[in-house]
Chains A and B, each alone.
Chain A
Amino acid sequence: MQVPWLLALPGLLALLCFHFLPAGFGGYYAFTSWNGLGNATWVGLKNFRAIANDPIARGALWHTLELAGCFVVLVNLIGLALAFGLNRTVKTRHLLRSVFFAPVAVSPLAIGFIWQWIFDNQGALNRALGDVGLKSLERSWLGDPSTALWTILVVLVWQYSGLAMVLYLAGLQGISDEIYEATLVDGASGWLRLRKVMLPLLAPAVTVSATITLVIGLRVFDQILALTGGGPVAASETLATQVYKQTFYLGRYGYGAALALILAALIAAVAIGQLTLLRMHEQRL
């Protein structure tokens, strides 16, 4: 007896009406001039030319790539190190895992406000630097265009290292005790074995974690609104913050849709890359 497709109807409608249809229309509006009311007029590539000529939009694209790239590398290295450290034997591992994973559960906006104070002129970081005699390093972290973007990187890495850790721990569970022991016991060849034995076995976890964190990095929005609002002088604008401001603040729906389409293309490229990598890995096994 077959299960009727009718049961899937509400879910399919949601998929169609809230994902594919609006994404399709969004893609169409990217090639129009539209204020959200009335009719959109087709303008071809005009929005994309405007983006190419706008230093703020170009900066936003560049910041998005910089931030997402650095974030993926750092968060995965730290997550992997935490996962190896907390995989077995350590007695407090369950407690420590909970500690490292806790920021994942908290609103990114709220996390952003805590760090806004840490990076504030009068905040924790400058205080701590002054207290240990490094007053010369004190600076206006959020107000300085050369550091603003990197404060966001720090917050992202802090918030999501626990997520990468959890994904790698799940991957490590699939590796038997024997292999794990072997990589730990032979001191000298340990690093070699780690590279030759463990990492290939962890490859699926690496791919999944890299993809999830890359998408998080490309979409970053909440933390920026809390920390810098995109400033100073647009030094920490990203595609997501520009989509929001151009569309919902300035009413430039066509232009905002074009920015969103670029963001979507970046994320699609990442997803296709991941699928290809996973396929290749499966074929080698």
Chain B
Amino acid sequence: MARSRYRRTTLLRELALIVVAAVFSLPFYLLIAIALETTEQTYRAPLSFPLSPHWSNFSQAWNTGGQAALPRSLESSLIITISSVAALIALGSLCAYAIARRRGRLSDLVYILFVLGIILPVQLAIIPLFVVMLHLGLVGNYAGMILLNVGLLMPLTVFLYTGFIRTLPRDYEEAARVDGAGILRTYSRVVMPLLRPITGTVAVVVGFIVWNQFFEALIFLEGSRYQTLPVSLYSFAGDYVARWNLILAGVAIAIAPILAFYLFAQHQLIRGFSAGLKG
């Protein structure tokens, strides 16, 4: 049978979907439009795009001080995200390697425990975690936040890696072991390079989650000088009540990096979310 052809109904469907997508994108249009208006314009004619863009909203938002300072929280977000992702990749892939290569009931059980770890809601665990980590001096600083992220996102990381490693043939690593290479050497020289596709997916998915995370960061970092972007954005919106052009300029600054990254990494992100289907 012929493959799907482009018919007149397909054209109609295409046009309809383009219209839907345009309407769907309106919030992004409004974000940019309002962020470039003067306060007066936002109350007079907010929906029309400002013909003389008021760029100073962005510099004012960027230079806001205090708890809501965006440059400092951008730095915090970068440090916390990159460190958490690096540690998760290193420790999570090793753990998944052991789970995927051991066969038998114990390995199945450990795998199921990690899947349960993904499902367990963080709200229950975070209460004792907060109290213990507060006592250990791990609240309100980088070390605590990175440790928390590594702990919380380990199940998802292990789950994604295990599914991939199970599909890899064992021939290369067994050849390396026969040649006398130790387990860690085999892992770093032979296995890790084969994991590159899934490492990309894990880095992107986990990176997006950590970058956008609000609940945990609010509890662990609010009021400290290490607030991540979402936490600072929350203070920021509180500072500028009803001054929508400034609030949305701040929002635009906060989401610009992730949207730019999305353009490059969307396929990894989609692949990561679809991985649940095969698991």
A contacts, CB < 8 Å to B: 1-12, 14-15, 17-23, 25-27, 29, 36, 82, 85-86, 88-92, 96, 98-102, 104-111, 113-118, 120, 122-124, 127-128, 131, 158, 163, 166-167, 169-171, 177-178, 180-182, 184, 204-205, 208, 212, 215, 218-219, 221-222, 225-226, 239-240, 243-244, 247-248, 253, 256-257, 259-261, 263-264, 267-268, 271
Q: B residues within 8 A CB of A111?
A: 27
Across the interface, do A260 and B123 meet the contact criterion of CB distance under 8 Å?
Answer: yes
Counting residue pairs across A and B whose Cβ atoms lie within 8 Å, the total is 268
Query: CA–CA, A2 to B130, complex, Å?
Result: 38
Query: CA–CA, A27 to B158, complex, Å?
Result: 25
Give the interface centre of A85, A109, A128 by most chain B CB atoms within 10 Å.
A109
- Tell whether A100 pairs with B21 under 8 Å between CB atoms, given A14-B154, A36-B131: yes
Which of B14, B34, B94 is close to A8, meaning CB atoms less than 8 Å apart? B94
Number of interface residues of B (CB under 8 A): 93
Across the interface, do B230 and A107 meet the contact criterion of CB distance under 8 Å?
Answer: yes
Beyond contacts A8-B94, A221-B215, A263-B121: 6 other A-B pairs, Cβ-Cβ < 8 A, are A23-B120, A23-B124, A110-B230, A158-B24, A170-B274, A170-B277
Give per-residue flags for B132-172: 1 if the beta carbon is below 8 A from chain A beta carbons, else 0. 10000000000000001011101100100000000000000
CB closest chain-B residue, reference A253: B127
Which of B24, B92, B123, B214 is close to A107, meaning CB atoms less than 8 Å apart? B214
Across the interface, do A114 and B110 meet the contact criterion of CB distance under 8 Å?
Answer: no
- Residues of B contacting A: mostly: helix
Give per-residue flags for B219-260: 1 if the beta carbon is below 8 A from chain A beta carbons, else 0. 100000000011001100100000010011001001100110
Which of B4, B31, B101, B266 is close to A88, meaning CB atoms less than 8 Å apart? B4
Q: B residues within 8 A CB of A20?
A: 113, 117, 120
13 pairs across A/B with beta carbons < 8 Å?
Answer: A6-B98, A7-B94, A10-B91, A11-B92, A11-B96, A15-B113, A20-B113, A29-B128, A92-B18, A100-B21, A109-B234, A123-B46, A239-B123
Across the interface, do B120 and A240 meet the contact criterion of CB distance under 8 Å?
Answer: no
Q: A residues within 8 A CB of B276?
A: 167, 208, 212
Q: Is B185 an interface residue (CB 8 A)?
A: no
A86 CB, nearest partner CB in chain B, Å: 7
Q: B residues within 8 A CB of A205?
A: 277
B213 CB, nearest partner CB in chain A, Å: 9
Q: B residues within 8 A CB of A113?
A: 233, 237, 247-248, 251
CB closest chain-A residue, reference B46: A127
Q: Is B95 an interface residue (CB 8 A)?
A: yes
Across the interface, do A105 and B43 meet the contact criterion of CB distance under 8 Å?
Answer: no
Give the interface centre of A1, A23, A264 by most chain B CB atoms within 10 Å.
A23
Q: A residues within 8 A CB of B1?
A: 177-178, 181-182
Across the interface, do A2 and B124 meet the contact criterion of CB distance under 8 Å?
Answer: no
Across the interface, do A3 and B152 meet the contact criterion of CB distance under 8 Å?
Answer: no
List the 10 closest A-B pairs by CB distance, nearest first. A11-B95, A18-B151, A22-B125, A170-B274, A14-B154, A8-B98, A26-B124, A25-B128, A107-B212, A3-B101
Across the interface, do A117 and B24 meet the contact criterion of CB distance under 8 Å?
Answer: no
- Tell whether A158 pairs with B4 under 8 Å between CB atoms, given A105-B259, A215-B119, A244-B219: no
Query: CA–CA, A225 to B222, complex, Å?
Result: 14
Q: Is B47 an interface residue (CB 8 A)?
A: yes
Q: A residues within 8 A CB of B247?
A: 113, 117
Q: B residues within 8 A CB of A163?
A: 273
Across the interface, do B30 and A166 meet the contact criterion of CB distance under 8 Å?
Answer: no
Q: A residues within 8 A CB of B113?
A: 15, 20
B51 CB, nearest partner CB in chain A, Å: 18
Across the interface, do B212 and A11 meet the contact criterion of CB distance under 8 Å?
Answer: no
Query: CA–CA, A105 to B219, complex, Å?
Result: 22
Q: A residues within 8 A CB of B42?
A: 122
B188 CB, nearest partner CB in chain A, Å: 12
Across the interface, do B47 and A23 meet the contact criterion of CB distance under 8 Å?
Answer: no
CB closest chain-B residue, reference A25: B128
Across the interface, do B214 and A225 meet the contact criterion of CB distance under 8 Å?
Answer: yes
Across the interface, do A124 and B237 meet the contact criterion of CB distance under 8 Å?
Answer: no
Across the interface, do A90 and B25 meet the contact criterion of CB distance under 8 Å?
Answer: no
